[in-house]
Structure 1
């Protein structure tokens, strides 16, 4: 069943953090709508083990990577390769962006013989 979310109708609170996340157990993607108020930032950090597509929904800001800084505006898309450094700074109107990536496998604790053989998919 398709899922429709109107990002323009998301409530004003919370003012910072993930204001929407894709839910459901039977999916292969993760997605989050991230909001930063004006002047706020997410310091540069090493990304996870998955490639991430980022789409600016509202506001403006700056994407900070090891290659430099890029100004962000609504409609901009950026591919953030896995395990690369990235940070975000919100502009005067704040910054709201959607991230989409392959769903990461949850940490499983079990006996070695219960785990799939290397390379088995």
Structure 2
């Protein structure tokens, strides 16, 4: 299995957002390393049509869910079921977490049967 990245050796740029994503086109999984600077947040929103696993690789913060607030710290792993509420608030040291989920299929226009 090829090593795709090392989460401990990521560049300081960008300071916010997706720091790394899987680039290989032929895959069934998507994964992103998300970075939030200290005090930054991602507003609560309903997730997509895929279950998402998150792993906190650095920092701390809060996971906002329908059930309330859950503290996050380095090493935590959480499952966010599809179509559920989630949001993130970074703590004093910022927050970096890896997401892993089934690859979402982009919309494709398909032709109908012949003669249709």
Secondary structure, counterpart of 1:8 in structure 2 = helix
Q: CA RMSD in A?
A: 1.2
Q: What count of residue pairs does the alignment treat as equivalent?
A: 114
> For the residues of structure 2 that align with 1:40 and 1:112, how far apart are their CA atoms?
47
Q: Deviations over 1:44-81 (max 9, x none)?
A: 00000000000000000000001010000000000000
**What is the match of residue 34 of structure 2?**
34
Instruction: Verify the 8 A CA contact 2:19 2:32 in the aligned structure 1.
Output: yes
**What is the match of residue 64 of structure 2?**
64
**What is the match of residue 4 of structure 1?**
4
Instruction: Verify the 8 A CA contact 2:4 2:22 in the aligned structure 1.
Output: no
Runs of 4+ with deviation above 6 angstroms: none
TM-score (norm 1): 0.90
**What is the match of residue 17 of structure 2?**
17
> For the residues of structure 2 that align with 1:8 and 1:53, how far apart are their CA atoms?
19
Instruction: Verify the 8 A CA contact 2:66 2:85 in the aligned structure 1.
Output: yes
